[in-house]
Chains A and B, each alone.
Chain A
């Protein structure tokens, strides 16, 4: 099975700050990587698919990138509404594993 190692587990940042979350895949998954945001008590929402493509309706301050088997989610200017838990997921091969999540809080 493909393991997704997500870091950091938690992150405290200030408004307007640049935030970066990373996921390391245990083997090659190409661009089969998605990022999700989950706010408290809500269903997850797709942010990024195909490692770098922005999902419909997602603000442009979110972006995804890839370097080999390391994937990053960047929030260019943190806003209050960005607080929540972020998950990566590999969609290359079953089982389609998720990262453990990154809890993003406001400093």
Chain B
């Protein structure tokens, strides 16, 4: 059974940093592109980052480029999202997701990040 379990969320002050983790199991992690998607309270979905199987290629929207870094450790079947210079508009539930042919076929349960002073 495919499982994705996020951790590392919480309350953080504006301008500070936070690192999210996603533990994957039930599939060969190194064979799949992985992604992070977020959802602000009562809002729609926003794609945040994607990483290739080896980690050599990463993709971001302008809203987080230069502040967020996606990475992975295939030996540990883990995905990460380092978030720096956090803003109030980064407040959201962050989902880890597996990518299949561009679509996001499995999602974690999500982890809440609140940016507030």
Contact = CB atoms under 8 A, between A and B. Distances in A.
Interface in B46-87: 46-47, 50, 59-62
Interface in B80-117: 95, 100-110
Interface stretch (A18-26, A65-73, A74-82, A86-94): A86-94
Interface residues of B, number: 23
Contacts, number: 65
Q: Chain B CB within 10 Å — which of A96, A98, A101 has the most?
A: A96
Interface residues of A, number: 24
B11 interface: no
Q: Chain A CB within 10 Å — which of B60, B101, B103, B106 has the most?
A: B103
A46 B45 contact: no
Interface string B13-53: 00000000000000000000001010000001111001000
Given A43-B109, A43-B110, A44-B95, A98 B104 contact: no
